[in-house]
Chains A and B, each alone.
Chain A
Amino acid sequence: MPDRVRELQRALADLALAPDAAAFEADPAAFAGARGLPGPDQAAFRRCRPRLLSYREFVREDIWEPVELYLPITLALLERAGALEEARSGFLASRLLASPYYRDIAPTFLGWLAATGWGLERWPFLVQLAHAELVPELVEHAPDTPPRAGLHPEPAPGDRIVPAPPTQVLAYDWRVLEATPEAPGPPPGPCHLLAFRDAEGFVRWRELTPATAAVLVRAQQEPIGRAAAALGLGDPGAVLALLAALRAAGALEGFQAG
């Protein structure tokens, strides 16, 4: 065979990541043989059957641990429906996880949910719920960047806003903030959120009105006054005061002329 070492590694990965271990459990030697491994390796697979199976358990636990840690509400939903193992197996079998970073595991699971549409027919809010659960972690650990030059602290109607790099303005179709492990299905309804890091680095949430959320998005591209007017916000002073408060809280890095 061209490269026995590589094929042995592939066989162990197959055992660890496949949706079930039935073929291996039924006949470990045949499992190895089906992967082109020669007789002595087939015999070793038969001899080491229980120990090799322990690797399947370890890999699955290692990869799933951060998903459990960061998505407790999403997983509570799946567990109640008896769908947890199906989701876990589907994700692991997809082999989408390529990153060396532990912190990327749960976001990759979210990516798998979004890319495959798994569970969306039954739970149309699933991706949004999982995303909302991940946001605090993403905001808390967003990379630090050097302060941008040319910003000032007080907004003027002709300025554009510059969000702090970790800040996220979020719009969901479901009331994701109302979901809990005990009641994991969020009620339908729009939900606009601002997530940011405060001066001490702690994550803060604010629920926004649709108009405020729209200003925070539009005024990154056009002057605050024009954005407010386009959205029918009659009191530019109130908008400017809100934006100044958000800068003081850490959500915005500052304001830029033009």
Chain B
Amino acid sequence: MRSAQPISGVGLGLRGPHLEAAAQANPGVPFWEIAPENVLGDGGREAAMTRAILARDPVLSHGLSLSVGGFDPFDPGYLEPLAAFLLDAGSPWHSEHLCFTSVDGASTHELLPMPFTRASVRHTVARVRELKGRLPVPFLLENVTYYSELGDKEMEESAFVAEVLEGADAGWLLDINNVYVNSLNFGFDPYRWFEGMPLSRVAQIHVAGHTTMGDLVVDTHGAPVVDPVIGLMRWVLPRIGRPVPVLLERDNEIPELPVLLAERAALQEAYDRALAAHA
């Protein structure tokens, strides 16, 4: 039976290779994050296991394909079952990426970067406000990894993120690995990136591993979380001042569950220490 307590601690993404073990018993994970695109309209064995886990454990919903910053109309054929899923799963919010994924009806299945312009802020704010009115739970936006600016920028990425969050009055899914990866690719201080950012809006955090490919660092979610990202997490948690849930993302090169659980436990220890020092 799910608890009505606020979700906190370090959770894991619910992924295919671990479904069977997770369905048998919760292996000490305080919550699971799930992509509704992997569940909606799905049937069969894996779907049944997923439903059993969602009925038992706390869950956070994190989408991949709404194309929040895009121009294609939101598809009611997706939004309506998504709304039903959110209520059924008891997710306290739904999060999505601050990016676009489709253009003129063609889906790219990639998180593409928004132009950092005032017009882009206005457009995205309007889109998020529309989404907020069509979903039954609060809406969070995640800052993404970007590998290139798209067109001539009128502001820094941090200002773009902050202005969209404030303008849309949206919650923030703070992806710390994305901040760190961007700092490597664009040569800035990740700690200074947080200056002026609306930390009061943070409702959830993501941490993940990344991969260096040539001269680019790519947010692959295919490696363990590195110490600098854990350091950033420990630095930012007291500044947020609340035990917001942290999700350990792992989508590629997925290790055996005990390996992932050990990494989760180490992150949980860092999380507890960071918050205890603040208390």
Contacts and interface: CB of A to CB of B under 8 A. Distances in A.
A140 B104 CA distance: 32
Contact of B112 (A12, A44, A105): A12
A166 to B, nearest CB: 7
Taking residues whose C-beta sits less than 8 angstroms from the other chain, chain B's interface range is 35 or more
Contact of A54 (B46, B115, B119, B216): B216
Given A100-B37, A101-B37, A8 B108 contact: no
Contact of A17 (B108, B119, B151): B108
A98 B102 contact: yes
Interface string B223-255: 000000000000000000000000000000000
B103 A9 contact: yes
A235 interface: no
B148 A97 contact: no
A95 B106 contact: yes
B149 interface: yes
Given A6-B71, A8-B151, A44-B152, A141 B43 contact: yes
A102 B147 CA distance: 23
Quick one: which of B64, B102, B109 has the most chain A CB within 10 A?
Answer: B109
Nearest to A94: B106
Given A59-B110, A62-B110, A102-B37, A12 B44 contact: no
A150 B151 CA distance: 62
Contacts of A32: 151
Contact of A4 (B38, B64, B65, B119): B119
A101 B41 contact: yes
Contacts of B115: 4-5, 8-9
A183 interface: no
Given A5-B123, A59-B108, A59-B110, A102 B44 contact: no
Interface stretch (A152-160, A185-193, A195-203, A214-222): A195-203
Taking residues whose C-beta sits less than 8 angstroms from the other chain, chain A's interface range is 35 or more
B275 interface: no
Quick one: which of B46, B66, B101, B110 has the most chain A CB within 10 A?
Answer: B110
B47 interface: yes
B75 interface: yes
Contacts of A101: 37, 40-41, 65
A63 B108 contact: yes
A10 B38 CA distance: 27
Interface of B: 37-38, 40-48, 64-66, 70-71, 75, 78, 100-110, 112, 114-115, 117, 119-120, 123, 147-153, 216
25 contacts: A5-B120, A5-B123, A10-B103, A13-B106, A16-B110, A32-B151, A40-B152, A44-B152, A51-B148, A55-B110, A55-B147, A59-B112, A62-B108, A63-B108, A97-B109, A98-B105, A100-B102, A103-B42, A105-B109, A142-B43, A144-B48, A166-B43, A197-B45, A201-B46, A201-B48
Interface of A: 3-6, 8-10, 12-13, 16-17, 32, 37, 40-41, 43-45, 48, 51-52, 54-55, 58-59, 62-63, 95-103, 105, 140-145, 166, 197, 200-202
